[in-house]
Amino acid sequence: MLGGVAGGIGRYFGIDPTLVRIAFVALALFGGTGLVVYAAALLLVPNDDEAVAGGVSSPRDRNTAIGLVIAFILVCIAIGGGFGFAFGGALVPIGFLFLAGLAVWWFISGERPSGSPATVVRRAAIGVALLIGCFGLSVASFFASGLGGGVVTAAIVIAAGAALVAGAFVGGARWLVLPALAIALPLAFVSAAGIDLNGGFGERDVRPATMAELEDGYRLGAGELVVDLRELDLPAGDHPLKVRIGAGHALVIVPEDVCVASRAEVGMGGVAIFDRDGGGIDVDWKDSRQAPENTPRIVLDGDVGLGLLEVRHTRHNPRGRDWDDRTDERNRACTTS
């Protein structure tokens, strides 16, 4: 009913396609195996139109493909029956990876995966290798763009686009589509979210003990930035504090007798200031608080590309609760909002 797989198998073996569909549904409940088997049949078994057109797959290749699908079903049933659903379901991600490789091969070559089992496996391996390479390109593009190499990355994308245009006339450049997308999409995401990865990577824990040690701002490219002000004796009045993080988690910890007013810009992620929070894409956060006379106030200016900016009185949430359950974490030192 979706891709003609059950109907085709039913006609091939001379059985009611409804029984085949029921079998696929049952296998889908069997650790998700039915989904992988259906996708395998959709990729490997040519349809009737291709068989009539002639030349995509021979009858021998068609029989081989159907045999592979049936063998995969039997293996999944045997493993699932002998070792339980969990182990049988472990084949599902492996199967999806194999099928993803075949789909990539089909995309870059324009040919349905067919031939001997060795040929099918080899083509799937080429597709998986291209996927892994594209993943590496995506990671490299993300960090290069975030570190200020967006111009170079954009130049590479333009060059790949020019090669694709040329390939449209001479052929052979279809495989460049995936690497070009792997480079362009992270570049667009970093630019849209305003992610700046300058400032280092990893974990940075700052605990100023005197006003001389307190800096106007703290910055981290990617990772976790913790600014702990509990040991600091803040005098009354306003104290500006800038926190910048490209990707990750920024946590500011303040004593209970300190008021916090905050504003923040978040490309994608969220803000959690004590018991108030917000999140989404392109977040413009503002929480204006006033402090009583003779009470210190932190005026927090946050900038997060991708991640979470958080302010609490404690380093860890009480009783191990999630960060969005903070009913007893309040901006107690402030008077109005």
Tens of each residue's pLDDT in the chain, 337 residues: 555 667 766 676 677 777 677 776 776 665 566 666 666 666 655 554 544 444 444 555 555 655 665 666 565 555 554 444 444 455 566 667 777 787 787 777 777 666 666 777 778 788 888 888 888 888 888 888 888 766 777 777 777 777 666 665 666 566 777 888 888 888 888 877 778 888 888 888 999 988 888 888 899 988 999 999 988 888 888 999 999 998 999 999 998 888 899 999 998 899 998 888 888 888 899 988 888 888 899 999 999 988 999 998 887 654 444 444 444 467 777 875 5
Half-sphere exposure of 296 (CA within 13 A, CB side): 17
Range of the domain at 29: 5-115
**Three-class DSSP category at 243:** strand
Residue 205 sits in the same domain as residue 315? yes
In 3D space, the residue among 38, 36, 46, 42 whose CA is nearest the CA of residue 22 turns out to be: 38
Judge if 313 and 216 occupy the same domain. yes
Confidence at residue 302, expressed as pLDDT on a 0 to 100 scale: 92
* Long-range CB contacts for residues 154-159, cutoff 8 Å, separation at least 24: 154/187, 156/183, 157/183, 157/184, 157/187
Same domain, 178 and 233: no
How many independent structural domains does the chain possess? 3
E strand or H helix at 202 = strand 201-206
Which helix (H) or strand (E) element contains residue 223?
A: strand 217-228
Residues 223 and 257 in one domain: yes
Q: Which two tokens stand for residue 334?
A: 């402030």
36 in any annotated domain: yes
212 and 306 share a domain?
A: yes
d(CA 67, CA 63): 6
- Out of 175, 193, 211, a domain closes at 193
pLDDT value of position 319: 42
Specify whether 142 is located in the same domain as 108.
Answer: no
The residues near 277 (Cβ < 8 Å, ≥ 6 apart) are 270, 271, 324
CB 14 within 8 Å of CB 20: no
Whether 252 and 171 map to the same domain: the answer is no
CA atoms within 13 A on the CB side of 132: 8
For residue 209, being part of any structural domain is answered with yes
128 inside domain: no
pTM, to two decimals: 0.60
Strands (DSSP E) contained in 254-328 are 259-273, 276-287, 296-312
Nearest to 196 by CA among 160, 245, 126, 252: 245
What is the three-class DSSP state of 287? Answer: strand
User: Does residue 337 form part of some domain?
Assistant: no
Tell me whether residue 336 is in a domain.
no
- For residue 333, being part of any structural domain is answered with no
- C-alpha torsion sign, points 308, 310, 315, 321: negative
Same domain (yes/no): 230, 293: yes
Amino acid sitting at position 96: F
Percent helix, percent strand, percent coil in the chain, to nearest 5 = 50, 25, 30
List 11's β-bridge partners, or say none.
Answer: none
